[in-house]
C-alpha cells in the first residue's frame, strides 16, 4: 500500500499527520519522491462551516482534500515542511 509523493507540500502534510515515511527515492535528483508506507490514522477537513475528522483515510483521500484546499494542517506542519526541505537539500 505504498504511495510515492513528489509534491513536497503534500509530503509535509502527510508527515505532519504522522503517515509512515518509508524511504526517499533520489534517483531523479531534480524530482525526489517520498515513499510512504501507510496513510495517516486520521485527518481533519473543512466541510462548509464544519470541521470533520476522517478516520482511516486513504492516500487518495488526503491528496484530494489537499488539492481541494479543504485539508487542515496540524500545528506540526511547519516543522514537517522544514524536514522535507532539509531532506531535499541534503543530496
Round to whole Å and give the CA distance between 13 and 5.
Answer: 11
Q: Kindly give the parts of the chain with pLDDT less than 70.
A: 91
Amino acid 67: pLDDT: 97
pLDDT on residue 88: 83
* Contact (Cβ atoms closer than 8 angstroms) between residue 91 and residue 19: no
Residue 1's pLDDT is 78
Contact criterion met (CB below 8 Å) for 39 and 19: yes
Amino acid at each position: 500500500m505504498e504511495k510515492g509523493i513528489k509534491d513536497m507540500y503534500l509530503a509535509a502534510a502527510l508527515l505532519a499527520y504522522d503517515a509512515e515515511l518509508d524511504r526517499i527515492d533520489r534517483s531523479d535528483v531534480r524530482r525526489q519522491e517520498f515513499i510512504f508506507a501507510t496513510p495517516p490514522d486520521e485527518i481533519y477537513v473543512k466541510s462548509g462551516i464544519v470541521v470533520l475528522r476522517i478516520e482511516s483515510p486513504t492516500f487518495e483521500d488526503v491528496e484530494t482534500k489537499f488539492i481541494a484546499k479543504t485539508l487542515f494542517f496540524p500545528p506540526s506542519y511547519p516543522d514537517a515542511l522544514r524536514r522535507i526541505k532539509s531532506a531535499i537539500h541534503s543530496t
